[in-house]
């Protein structure tokens, strides 16, 4: 209980809110050429130094750590960090971070990673914690905004890796011939042929109203239908529900052609994926398009190929077909190998089912903790609530980063 008592004292006896305000000002608003602005910045910096020294002197052991905590984390963040330390006894030694609707949110941050979040990522980097950006976006898109936000030197430091296009490739600058890994090169011809068939026909063979209502995203091994309407709206939900049924049937037609054996399409894909995903089953039931076929009756040759292909449904947002052999877990494992993180204890932050796989992977291997925004998919929220309940507000990824920095500072006291 000694650590808890020390934290209680810290937040009861000291003006930690003022400390944090001053620290954020000094960190996020560096001095400028204006004499008035410079004088104000120097005044705040001096007051911050004085406040930190007061905390430092009050703790004969670990004073610098408690001063850092007071200027970094709220009471709730600090105590959550201490709870995590008490549970796991480890600090976080790598970050695995989704981008869209996690680090940034179109609803709260104008689709930019907030300045505060970028600063905190820099703090982790300065503390020697590698960063893995794990996203469905293209490599060039991710490199662009990371360099703009974090700086070219940090991105190319050798401690940053980008898992892009949901696991199609991994880019880790500064590692010679291992800098870029094209994971799709390991896929066999059966999978390659299947995805060529699906992608080449997904829009051209779609009904006209579906073509007008959605657009195509993804890559060679990830085919994603996105609505041409506002995400989350009724019209988006309608077109994505219809798009899900369409891609299931297109996948079945493609797979039966690849497998051969004279098998005719009979609702096999609908039955197979409904049996494994309650959300897909619910869409098919609501539309009255659940087949009479039982999943156990799916021909084994089809089922074997279906088991290597993922179909994901995101309500009013996306219907997606992807290779299970190219996913964020595979990409993260490859990134950690290049970064030399042999025994990871990661903070995994994300909002979608592709992120959930990484969360489940770290949970299964005692390799980290998971956090999600409050608007994440239901399955993600269920997992996070069932582990450490690390849920943060839309656009407030900095809240969780501060909590984990608090955890790491508390580990210094051991």
pLDDT tens per residue, range 384-400: 999 999 999 988 999 99
CATH fold label, 88-185+326-411: Rossmann fold (3.40.50)
> Hey, what are 93's tokens?
């030694």
In this structure, are residues 327 and 350 in contact, taking their beta carbons and an 8 Å threshold?
A: no
Share the mean pLDDT of the chain. Answer: 93
pLDDT tens per residue, range 161-182: 999 988 989 999 999 999 999 9
In this structure, are residues 305 and 259 in contact, taking their beta carbons and an 8 Å threshold?
A: yes
**Do strands 309-314 and 318-323 pair parallel, antiparallel, or not at all (unpaired)?**
antiparallel
Secondary structure (3-state) at 225: strand
pLDDT above 70: percentage of residues in the chain: 98
The span from the CA of 392 to the CA of 400, in Å, is: 7
**Residues contacting residue 177 through CB under 8 Å, at least 6 positions apart:** none
Beta bridge partners of 369: 347
Q: Is the pLDDT of residue 293 over 70?
A: yes
Rounded to 5 degrees, what are φ and ψ at 154?
A: -65, -45
> Hey, what are 232's tokens?
């989350």
Q: Closest Cα partner for 246 from 217, 279, 286, 289?
A: 289
Q: Is the pLDDT of residue 111 over 80?
A: no
For 262-266, what is the mean pLDDT?
Answer: 83
Secondary structure (3-state) at 146: helix
Token pair 């609702």 is found at 267
Which has more pLDDT, 386 or 261? 386
Which has more pLDDT, 322 or 231? 322
Task: Kindly report the number of other CB atoms within 10 A of residue 188's CB atom.
Answer: 9
**pLDDT level of residue 275 (50, 70, 90 thresholds):** very high
Q: Is the pLDDT of residue 109 over 60?
A: no
**pLDDT level of residue 41 (50, 70, 90 thresholds):** confident
The burial of 48, by beta-carbon neighbours within 10 Å (0-12 exposed, 13-18 middle, 19 or more buried), is given as: buried
The domain ranges of the chain are: 2-71, 88-185+326-411, 188-323
Q: Is the pLDDT of residue 359 over 60?
A: yes
Beta bridge partners of 318: 314
Which own/partner contact pairs does 178-183 have at CB distance under 8 Å and 24+ positions apart?
A: 178/338, 181/334, 181/338, 183/326, 183/330, 183/331, 183/334
Please give the distance of CA 190 from its chain centroid, rounded to a whole number.
Answer: 30
């Amino acid at each position: 209980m000694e650590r808890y008592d020390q934290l209680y004292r810290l937040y009861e006896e000291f003006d930690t809110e003022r400390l944090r305000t001053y620290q954020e000002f000094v960190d996020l608003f560096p001095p400028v050429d204006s004499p008035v602005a410079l004088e104000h910045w120097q005044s705040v910096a001096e007051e911050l130094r004085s406040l930190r020294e007061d905390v430092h002197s009050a703790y004969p052991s670990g004073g610098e750590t408690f001063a850092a905590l007071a200027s970094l984390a709220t009471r709730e963040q600090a105590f959550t960090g201490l709870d995590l330390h008490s549970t796991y006894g480890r600090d976080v030694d790598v970050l695995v971070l989704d981008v869209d609707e996690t680090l940034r949110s179109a609803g709260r941050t104008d689709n930019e990673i907030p300045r505060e979040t970028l600063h905190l990522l820099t703090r982790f980097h300065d503390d020697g914690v590698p960063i893995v950006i794990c996203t469905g976006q293209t490599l060039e898109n991710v490199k662009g905004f990371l360099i703009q936000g974090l700086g070219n030197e940090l991105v190319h430091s050798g401690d940053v890796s980008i898992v892009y296009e949901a696991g199609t490739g991994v880019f880790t600058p500064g590692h010679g011939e291992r800098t870029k890994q094209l994971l799709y090169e390991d896929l066999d011809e059966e999978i390659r042929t299947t995805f060529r068939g699906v992608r080449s026909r997904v829009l051209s063979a779609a009904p006209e109203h579906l073509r007008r209502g959605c657009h195509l995203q993804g890559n060679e091994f990830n085919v994603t239908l996105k609505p041409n309407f506002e995400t989350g709206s009724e019209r988006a939900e309608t077109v994505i529900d219809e798009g899900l049924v369409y891609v299931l049937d297109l996948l079945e037609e493609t797979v039966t052609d690849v497998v051969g054996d004279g098998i005719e399409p009979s609702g096999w894909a609908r039955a197979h994926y409904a049996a494994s995903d309650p959300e897909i089953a619910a869409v098919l039931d609501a539309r009255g398009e659940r087949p009479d076929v039982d999943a156990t009756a799916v021909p084994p040759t089809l089922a074997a190929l279906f088991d290597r292909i993922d179909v994901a449904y995101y309500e009013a947002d996306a219907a997606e077909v992807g290779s299970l052999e190219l996913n964020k877990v595979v990409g993260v494992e490859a990134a950690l190998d290049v970064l030399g993180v042999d025994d990871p204890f990661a903070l995994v932050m994300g909002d979608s089912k592709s992120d959930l796989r990484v969360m489940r992977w770290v949970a299964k291997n005692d390799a980290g903790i998971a956090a999600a925004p409050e608007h994440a998919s239901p399955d993600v929220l269920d997992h996070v609530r069932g582990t450490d309940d690390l849920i943060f507000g839309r656009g407030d990824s900095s809240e969780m980063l501060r909590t984990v920095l608090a955890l790491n500072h508390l580990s210094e006291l051991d």
